[in-house]
Chains A and B, each alone.
Chain A
């Protein structure tokens, strides 16, 4: 039992950066922009969050910085694809290469200025980002550990996902936004401000990705700077969007499932079940590829990519 609880807790933690990346990408794809720059935006969030925490010693400042950096990356993408109508795939790949590159350049620059060639977050901020402890609740058996034992990121992520789900499903504005991703011409005719909503969604989505990036360096890596800290999680997040069928609530449990896949290899008894490690690492991508095929074969409209995703909208072309 305690082994299972440990596994679930570890899966949730491993899934949290994915949750942020996935929500951010859902926001992009919902307005019709396939943004392959998640990895880049997460990287930008990582360096900004880290440096802000390093300098200010304050967790809230770090989160804000990570959000702003991710949003800045997304702003470039939005300008290039929304206003200048460039190809989404190419712009996204560029954002990834640019974001990782810039992150490593800045990290390298500050490492060079540090005293002993390493950068570690100060104690005060690390204590703030550690697991929370709710008096009374955290000490409960099982429930306490399963629900009230995580670092603050996880709760932030879940709250964002739920708010986004309410926005998409329960508000008129949310419905309008979804319409942009499905049929921008119809949305335009109905008077939806396409450009404004695209910018808002892409930029906020990028900011959320940035918070996920900060997680990878502050929690996963224990607050010590390394280059390439996001390490491909952004691409798993792009996969996870498909798994979650472009729905924020699914992203919550989906990211925990993918988190479980990431750590599964450490929890399976190697003497009993002998599967090479590489297959565990492959699992998220394999599962996503299979889902992609099944969804397209069954033509489940509800679980498909927003219809206008990847295309640009120019009013005079409709």
Chain B
């Protein structure tokens, strides 16, 4: 049998493990991936007949061309940044939650209840209640799949996906029925919040950005310097190890997932009370999915998330400028984001693996095998 094995042809290219890269090499790898992605995106733009350098330049200048544009960019960044922080908690535990979209929506619904029906409360109190309600809403929506996962090992990816759409249609239900704005008989919508229920502005952008920065610091400390954060890392590495170390894995999963959902809920609150000033069906608008991509690109590192979500916000904002200036659809930002991520996650392969070329057939190589055999026998 071993005779046959040795005559088996070695593939031209095979995959082999390598020593893990240092963080610095890993960063360099990402930059190379990013560069390749920009080249690929540039080729795409060139095929459509545009000058890639002009388009890339316009995207960047477009996001910063005026105070208003910068404020717009920050506004796009806020929900993306907050929800990416949220999903990071879940992903650190290898809990494949893709329900950020639904959790954002639930947070917005819970907050909107107080915003719509208790707007006579003093503004600070009302906003605080809305904030807490949003956390509870998002947290509960996230903990549901975690409960089933704990109890019956229900697939959380598929379950959270379903919950996204259930949440979306709950808004539609509220809009068409119980929460419909009676002042608007023709067109079903939910009433605009009164000023009491809206987030105040600081430097021209609603204070969602302040909330985001505070969350950033909290999540960073939580993951890096607390016992909870340590437990999350251990469970992410291996549930068996965590069990062996005496951790109550199920409890920790529930707690972490609740927090993860609660943070996404805050993004919903910030969107409803800061940007939309009402509860709209588009309150999440795909942010929950993009947030997953952001978190992943950033290696689940809060500082990285800050950078990546800022870059994505620039892409988004800049793409709206290229539509008006060059007649190229705003969806260009999605295409570029997609290309970047494809390259970066494919590049992530080289952090742990490498390709090995088949060695050229030389007399030494063929004589090597029997030698080793002989060594073994001796």
Contact = CB atoms under 8 A, between A and B. Distances in A.
Given A80-B346, A90-B292, A97-B290, A105 B329 contact: yes
Contacts of B328: 105, 108-109
A251 to B, nearest CB: 16
Main secondary structure of the interface of B (DSSP, over half): helix
B329 A108 contact: yes
Interface stretch (A10-18, A124-132, A273-281): A273-281
Interface string B327-344: 111011111011101100
Interface string B1-26: 00000000000000111000000000
A98 B173 contact: no
Interface string A9-51: 0000000000000000000000000101000000000000000
A104 B159 contact: no
A83 to B, nearest CB: 8
B165 A93 contact: no
Contact-size category for B: 35 or more
Chain A interface main SS type: helix
Contacts of B176: 276-278
B159 A289 contact: yes
A94 B293 contact: yes
Contact of A316 (B16, B165, B170): B16
Contacts of A171: none
Interface string A83-101: 1111101110111111111
A288 interface: yes
B215 interface: no
Pick from B170, B332, B333, B335 the residue with the most CB of A within 10 Å: B335
A280 B212 CA distance: 36
A242 interface: yes
Contact of B162 (A97, A102, A112, A292): A292
A173 interface: no
Interface in A204-235: 227, 232, 235
A94 B341 contact: yes
Nearest to A305: B155
Contacts of A108: 328-329, 331
A238 interface: yes
Interface of B: 15-17, 48, 96, 98, 148, 151-155, 157-159, 161-163, 165-166, 169-170, 172-173, 176-177, 286, 289-290, 292-293, 296, 327-329, 331-335, 337-339, 341-342, 345-349, 353
Given A85-B349, A277-B176, A278-B169, 20 more contacts: A34-B157, A80-B346, A86-B348, A93-B289, A94-B338, A94-B341, A98-B342, A101-B335, A104-B331, A105-B331, A109-B329, A112-B327, A235-B161, A238-B158, A282-B165, A289-B162, A292-B154, A296-B155, A299-B152, A314-B353
